[in-house]
Structure 1
Amino acid sequence: MKQFEVNFDGLVGPTHNYAGLSFGNVASQSNANAISSPKQAAKQGLAKMKALADMGMTQGVLAPQERPDIATLRRLGFTGSDARVLENAAKQARQVFLACCSASSMWTANAATVSPSADTADGRVHFTPANLTNKFHRSLEPEVTGRILQATFANEKYFAHHAHLPDNEHFGDEGAANHTRLCSNYCHSGVELFVYGRYAFDTTKPAPKRYPARQTLEASQAIARLHGLDEDSVVFIQQNPDVIDQGVFHNDVIAVGNQNVLFFHEQAFYQKDAVLQEIRRKFGDHPLHFIEVSTDAVPVADAVKTYLFNTQIITLPDNSMAIIAPSECEENENVHRYLSALIASDAPIKEVKYFDVKQSMRNGGGPACLRLRVALTEQEVAVVNPATLINDTQFAKLNRWVDKHYRDVLTENDLRDPQLLIESRTALDELTQLLKLGSVYPFQRQGS
């Protein structure tokens, strides 16, 4: 049975802006209050999706969230017309207002954790939306994310959807950004790696001191139970607390895997040697490649700045592997030198393809942040909502949609403009028809 790894990239929303909301994300904070270009950001993301589709990959798209989030602002006590809610929130609670305008759902690596049917007890693909409790602006996403995933993967025979974990820091869950899967072949059972930053119920264990650890062990264990994963196919790994304090807020900023390759920095994992031994033992007798990058070759600061590990490793139709990297990796001397040597070595990765995703990079997310990986069989691909898969026709439609609805430039002051809210809702209403999602947004469901 043939199986694919499908990348579902997040479509950048109409309110893409730089509010510097994410403490612990160096890029996000360093570019706070810069002027953004929603149209350019959306087109950069679409161009990457189309490029992967043209390489022969199966590529999908996930819709953005509704922003500004008027429903949340009303929950927080702002009343009157939508225009009055925006005006008062911007004046009286600027940071709350900015959080409710965030377009961070573009980073769909945080959308959910996905376990393929080859790994699960009931033989279905399992989805659990991330609760993202560590950041207020992201904690607003899970319910709509769940509805979008259910509209994309609707066939209950093949797909199982779970509610997000309890909205509490003890079960802080960041989705696939702290999860990867190793396998000999996508259609065979694999080893799922759940990387956590701290223990929620045992404060004596190691934890970062400067920046928050967003994922807990207890959340990772809960996801594994919900997905019906066998304990022999799961490895729980603690992220190195020191590397979190250097700005590595998710595991996918310091490690990435694909099939039988784990590409990681030497500082990525706490008690690294024991971790690698456990992975190798559970992986069995199949060939397994650990590509470990030394601090001497690439300092952590360079890895964070360029998002060397927030790249995508993909398996092309000819079974060779390639890295999808941001152009920042090509521009950094240490990283470019390392990648050039890597593809010239006997490692399975034979090519690097560089992409301009600067609008996303400046807000703290590279190519890997922009996609949710979903391993699917041919039968499962056949029952995915076809309107969410990228081909020439859908790519052209989405580009025209962006041209029609998105602003070229967006400042913080624009976010309080009632006309932007109208523009965004008009755009999203049209998008749900284009992607055949039904009514997934609160403004579409009022009174239902």
Structure 2
Amino acid sequence: MKSFEVNFDGLVGPTHNYGGLSFGNVASQSNSQQASNPREAALQGLEKMKALMDMGFVQGVLAPQERPDVAALRSLGFAGTDAQVIERAAKEAMPLLVASCSASSMWVANAATVSPSADTSDGRVHFTAANLNCKYHRSIEHPTTSRVLGAMFADQQHFAHHAALPAVAQFGDEGAANHTRFCRDYGEAGVEFFVFGRSAFDSRYPAPQKYPARQTLEASQAVARLHGLSEEGVVFAQQNPAVIDQGVFHNDVIAVGNGELLFHHQDAFLNTEQMLAELHGKLAARGGNFQSISVPRDQVAVEDAVRSYLFNSQLLSRTDGSMLLIVPEECRANPRVWQYLQGLLAAGGPIRVVKVFDLKQSMQNGGGPACLRLRVALNETELAAVNPGVIMTPALYDTLTAWVNKHYRDALRESDLADPQLLLECRTALDELTQILKLGAVYPFQIN
């Protein structure tokens, strides 16, 4: 039976803004308070989805969240009508209003961790929504994320959904941004690679000193247990605390993997040689031939990797067995990174093609091509069981493009978030979107 890796890209929401909410994310903080363009951001994302679809990849779309999150503001003591809640929050606690308007759910690499049926004990695809409890503006996402994923992957014969882990620091979980999977074929048993920044209970693991380590070892272990993964099919590795302190807030900012290949910076991990040997041995036991490409620090410094998002790229398998690397425009704009990529292509290794996409709106808020997609490996039967409304087609692309042009503003500043009309615009747009994507009632305003 044929199997696929399907990329479900996050659709940028109508309240896309630069709130500078993510401490440790250099791009997010450095562009704080600038005017954003939600319409352009959403269209840039849709163009990437269409391009991958046109290249022959199975492409899906994951809906954004309802913003502003009035229910979250009510839970913090703001009362009255929805308009009054927004008005009072803007007057008394503008940072909380900005957080409740965050469109960060577009980075669906943080939405959940996904294990394919070939790896799990019950032979189903498992999803665990990430609690994202390191940042308040992201910690409010997982209830809606769970409902949206449940509407997309509803067939319980094929799909299993787990609630987010306890929302405490010891189980900080950032989803697939710190998880990847290696395999000979997407339909065969593979090795799932969990990367953590710190341990909550074991002091032997060093922690960063400047920025928080968002993913804990304990969270990664809990997800592996929930998904029914075997010890032979899992590797846990620690991210280098020194690179976290340089702005590498998730592993997908310093490494990316696909198939049998890990593409990573020389300084990405602690105990790198031991980790690579474990990956090689466990994948070999499952019939695979693990390979790695380590980018030397003297060719690409960590700072260049963070600024260009070289590793926050999509590594995709082509029909001829080679790989395609999808990178943001910022990689071409960085001379050292671009020179390295040209040398990589000339070397004739597994990565044969590099394609550049303009994702400026997303990049300025701290997320690139890899952040925008959740990877789900599915066989033909499972793909047929996915809600067909969320699979990209030329007709859906045209419909979503028209939807964005109809509902999204072309400029948004912090002061605009206090406009109650923005909430009405968002709800109107999302109500129409759930009909387009055939999701049913997944948003609080549709349920309550």
Task: Please classify the TM superposition score into its range, dividing by the shorter chain length.
Answer: over 0.9
Question: Is the CA contact 2:279–2:290 (under 8 Å) kept in the aligned structure 1?
Answer: no
2: CA distance, partners of 1:424 / 1:346: 47
Query: How do residues 18-417 of structure 1 correspond to structure 2 at under 5 angstroms?
Result: 18-284=18-284, 286-417=288-419
What is the DSSP-based 3-state SS (H/G/I as helix, E as strand, rest coil) of the residue aligned with 1:439? coil
Paired AA for residue 406 in structure 1: Y
Q: 1:441 aligns with which of 432, 440, 443?
A: 443
Question: Is the CA contact 1:129–1:146 (under 8 Å) kept in the aligned structure 2?
Answer: yes
Question: Is the CA contact 1:55–1:316 (under 8 Å) kept in the aligned structure 2?
Answer: no
% identical aligned pairs: 64
Question: Is the CA contact 1:57–1:317 (under 8 Å) kept in the aligned structure 2?
Answer: no
What is the DSSP-based 3-state SS (H/G/I as helix, E as strand, rest coil) of the residue aligned with 1:324? strand
Cα deviation, residue 204, structure 1: 4.7
Cα deviation, residue 95, structure 1: 1.1
Cα deviation, residue 288, structure 1: 2.0
RMSD: 0.8
Question: Is the CA contact 1:56–1:316 (under 8 Å) kept in the aligned structure 2?
Answer: no
Question: Is the CA contact 2:256–2:312 (under 8 Å) kept in the aligned structure 1?
Answer: yes
What is the DSSP-based 3-state SS (H/G/I as helix, E as strand, rest coil) of the residue aligned with 2:60? strand
What is the DSSP-based 3-state SS (H/G/I as helix, E as strand, rest coil) of the residue aligned with 1:365? coil
1:418 aligned residue: 420
Residue-pair matches, total? 446
Cα deviation, residue 343, structure 1: 1.4
What is the DSSP-based 3-state SS (H/G/I as helix, E as strand, rest coil) of the residue aligned with 1:12? coil
Cα deviation, residue 83, structure 1: 1.2
Partner deviation per Cα, 1:288-343 (whole Å, 9 max, x = no partner):
21100010010000000000000000012343310000011011101111111111
Moved over 4 A (4+): none
TM-score normalised by the chain length of structure 2: 0.99
Tell me, yes or no, if structure 1 residue 432 matches structure 2 residue 434.
yes
What is the DSSP-based 3-state SS (H/G/I as helix, E as strand, rest coil) of the residue aligned with 2:5? strand
2: CA distance, partners of 1:288 / 1:223: 24
Cα deviation, residue 214, structure 1: 0.2
Can you give the 5+ residue segments of structure 2 that lack an aligned partner in the other structure? none
Question: Is the CA contact 1:255–1:310 (under 8 Å) kept in the aligned structure 2?
Answer: yes
Paired AA for residue 366 in structure 1: G
What is the DSSP-based 3-state SS (H/G/I as helix, E as strand, rest coil) of the residue aligned with 1:211? coil
Partner deviation per Cα, 1:142-183 (whole Å, 9 max, x = no partner):
010000001001111111111110111110000000000011
Paired AA for residue 356 in structure 1: D
2: CA distance, partners of 1:295 / 1:377: 39
2: CA distance, partners of 1:320 / 1:62: 28
Paired AA for residue 232 in structure 1: E
TM-score normalised by the chain length of structure 1: 0.99
1:16 aligned residue: 16
What is the DSSP-based 3-state SS (H/G/I as helix, E as strand, rest coil) of the residue aligned with 1:222? helix
1: CA distance, partners of 2:205 / 2:185: 36
Question: Is the CA contact 1:207–1:213 (under 8 Å) kept in the aligned structure 2?
Answer: yes
1: CA distance, partners of 2:58 / 2:205: 42
Paired AA for residue 260 in structure 1: E
Bigger Cα displacement from structure 2, 11-20 vs 279-288: 279-288
2: CA distance, partners of 1:425 / 1:316: 39
Cα deviation, residue 97, structure 1: 1.2
1: CA distance, partners of 2:108 / 2:381: 24
Question: Is the CA contact 1:196–1:216 (under 8 Å) kept in the aligned structure 2?
Answer: yes
1: CA distance, partners of 2:294 / 2:184: 19
2: CA distance, partners of 1:313 / 1:204: 33
Question: Is the CA contact 1:56–1:317 (under 8 Å) kept in the aligned structure 2?
Answer: no
Cα deviation, residue 360, structure 1: 0.2
Paired AA for residue 321 in structure 2: N
2: CA distance, partners of 1:300 / 1:397: 40
